[in-house]
Chains A and B, each alone.
Chain A
Amino acid sequence: MNGTFRQSMNWLHTWSGLLLGSLLYFIFITGTAGYFDKEITHWMQPERPIINEGIDQRSIVKMAEQHLNITAPNAQSWWVVFPIARSYSAVTWWQESDEEGGKWKSNTLDLQTGTPVITRETGGGKTLYAMHYVLHYIPKNLAYWITSLCAMFMFIALITGVIVHKKIFKEFFTFRPNKKQRSWLDIHNVFSVLPIPFHLMITYSGLVFLMFSSMPGVIVGSYGTDKEKYNEFVESVFQKSGHPEHSHEPANTLSMLSLMPDIESRWGENTLYEIGLEGRGTAGAHVQVKHHEYSGISQGEELIYHGSTGELLFDSMKESHPQSASKKLYTVLTDLHEGNFASVALRWLYFISGLMGAGMIATGMMLWATKRREKAQRIGTESAGLKLVEYSNVGIIVGLPIAIAAYFWANRIVPIDIENREVLEINSLFITWFLMLISPFILAKKITIQGLWIKQLLLASALYLLMPILNALTSDKNLVSALLQGDWVMAGFDLTMILFGLMFGYGAQHLMKKWKK
């Protein structure tokens, strides 16, 4: 470009960031929520029984198999997830036989009675976080392409951002409050520089996650366009050892309970995360067992038994088949991205880093507008593009948190017995966001841009602050009882919502004071 290399990088940084800023902000916010996906689902299904830690896993398997025998006698697979680690309830999963449709279904078990609890249908934390790569309302493959493109823009913005900030560490320690553009630049640098290893890691690993869809040329270049050869490649990448061949030949399968003594003799009692019986009733049946602890950052130990004979087919502790370097790199990147291994403290650090990523994008968008607003005031004319960015910034930056609050509110307000209620929940999110995005433009004549910021911040503050009260009024759970019963997930959700409410409230109050002058 004209001018120096650094100037052209500055240009590239500004425009690559702004163009996809809103989508990236959406991706960062929903993806960050995903670090607490199970906790969010726990809050969104208040019917779940309180965890009873006194019950041993052997009795849970017994209970679960009795219940599955009645509920899903023809299913091709049965799974039991124990209330351990980040699983907060005993849950049974089963896949219907192909004749029945092959759908996956699940039930939460009340361990006092051994009977399933009816929990409300909800997308929960899973739907919320899946949106950060499948988006919504559009085909999966198109979404992969769009999110990959966003991630690539993000990566470019990060690299060029580092190039632009030659005094990157000096700038990190500078904060000049109440200086408009300068202040925005300083906050932008704080959000960007400190967690830059996180931003680089999360963006690059995000690209790697979707590379099979986004970079097909490389696979075609080696394997050709044949679909079968492509599948062969993918299978050899995700190859797992110890699984018996699929079979349709009928055979007797043993109960998971009968294997529990052998498992416990290897791992000790109450150490399982889940146990599952795949290929029920066929000669290819096998029982898969997973330990609740992670080994390093990767999936923990695993055992596989033959489904008819009970013979041990695979033990991850004994079998150490060395991984190739490229497979290892792939596993490390994807494991770091998902952060499944993270304990409570590290999980919060992930969460805060993710929010800082969203903050980096938001302050970047603010900086873009403020810079041009100051210039426009100097020369006395403003462009339509500036107005567009200024007004959409409100609905993007504050509007999205409001929309997510609406998702949680819908979870409690939509009647429980209504059909497809999880669709209504998610629609509430997008309808609310749409309203937040267009209302600044509709109200532009009546309310100043400052007023619009304050109004949306106040709305966000109210929705988040009232969430614990909504929870108390619409379910038999509440913050006080959760604290007394030691249900830290329920209480933690309510407390986090209060914290968010206070932060939005502080933002509104700060702006009111500042703009009164």
Chain B
Amino acid sequence: MNNIKLQMGLRILSRSMAAIVGGYVLSNLLATLISYLLPMPKVDSVLLSLQLSFLFYCMVIIWVFGTKTAGKAWLGLLIACVISSVGLYLAMPEGSL
């Protein structure tokens, strides 16, 4: 009984961490990527993607809690983070940082 409870608790903890921490990282990455893709002056694109970042965060959190297992959620987050990082690397003009 206690073992099952502990397992349940750990699963919930893992999923919450995926949602809060993983979601935070992914939404920052997505928003940064969007800020490079938007066809407007840098100030405006950064300002707009900052405002949109919370929508991304919200969608990611809901998705994380909607997946079948916590493992799947982590895997999905990892893939999304890698894709958006690669996208960001390609979108960034050379030597911009």
Name A's B-contacting residues (CB within 8 A): 1, 5, 8-9, 11-12, 152, 155-156, 159-160, 163, 204, 207-208, 211-212, 215, 217-219, 221-224, 233, 236-237, 324-327, 329-330, 333
Contacts and interface: CB of A to CB of B under 8 A. Distances in A.
9 closest A-B pairs by CB? A221-B32, A217-B28, A326-B48, A324-B44, A326-B47, A326-B44, A218-B31, A207-B54, A211-B50
13 contacts: A5-B66, A12-B62, A159-B62, A204-B54, A218-B35, A221-B35, A237-B47, A324-B40, A324-B43, A324-B47, A325-B48, A326-B48, A327-B44
Nearest to B55: A204
Nearest to B92: A221
B74 interface: no
Interface of A is mostly: helix
Given A5-B66, A152-B57, A208-B54, A215 B43 contact: no
Contacts of B31: 215, 217-218
Given A160-B62, A211-B51, A330-B51, A237 B57 contact: no
Interface of B is mostly: helix
A9 B58 CA distance: 12
Given A152-B54, A215-B54, 13 more contacts: A5-B66, A9-B62, A11-B65, A12-B62, A155-B54, A215-B31, A217-B32, A218-B28, A218-B49, A233-B43, A233-B46, A324-B43, A326-B48
Interface residues on B, range: 20 to 34
Nearest to A155: B58
A97 B35 CA distance: 41
Contacts, number: 94
Contacts of B28: 215, 217-218, 221
Given A208-B51, A208-B54, A324-B40, A219 B46 contact: yes
B17 to A, nearest CB: 14
A9 B66 contact: yes
